[in-house]
Amino acid sequence: MVIPIFLFSQDIEKKEKKIVHVVLLKFNDKVDIDLIEKESYKYLSSIKVVKEFIFSKNISLEGKSKGFTHAFVMKFNSEYDRDSIYLPHPKHLFFAKKYWKGNVEDFVVYDYLE
């Protein structure tokens, strides 16, 4: 008995890897975190090439955060979207000028492929 085996290679989609952009933040003591969160969603998440956006607070109990208390995490379809559209985008530049300077003591940027 012969059992036919079909390969459906045309049905298998190649999943393109996304760029995950993580920015760890160390805020100054007097910053209004709620305002930063609200405005980051208003400006940064509304940029068309930002596919997912999260503003989050560090909840680790390990004590290894080195003072970084919050993070922006966003996804892009490509490095081009991140570098050529998002980074120079007027909404990103406006947010950085208005809410970053004077509020952020330090930050770390870490990108990876998902």
Residue 33 belongs to what domain range? 17-113
Q: Tell me: pLDDT of 95 over 50.
A: yes
Q: Is residue 6 part of a domain?
A: no
Tell me what percent of the residues of the chain surpass a pLDDT of 70: 88
Place 1 in a pLDDT band, splitting at 50, 70 and 90. low
Q: Is residue 23 part of a domain?
A: yes
Q: Which residues contact 114 (CB under 8 A, 6 or more apart)?
A: 17, 18, 19, 20, 75
Place 11 in a pLDDT band, splitting at 50, 70 and 90. very low
Residue 61: phi, psi to the nearest 5?
Answer: -100, 5
CATH code of 103's domain: 3.30.70.100
Our count of domains for the chain comes to 1
User: pTM of the prediction?
Assistant: 0.83
Tens-place pLDDT, residues 19-28: 999 999 999 9
Q: Is residue 8 part of a domain?
A: no
- The Cα–Cα gap between 27 and 53 comes to 19
Q: Is residue 65 part of a domain?
A: yes
Per the CB < 8 A criterion, the answer to whether 99 and 40 are in contact is yes
Amino acid of residue 12: I
Mean pLDDT for the stretch of residues 7-24: 74
Mean pLDDT for the stretch of residues 92-106: 95
Helix, strand, coil percentages in the chain from 3-state DSSP, rounded to 5: 30, 30, 45
Q: Which of 1-5, 34-38, 39-43 has the lowest mean pLDDT?
A: 1-5
Neighbours of 11 (CB within 10 A): 7
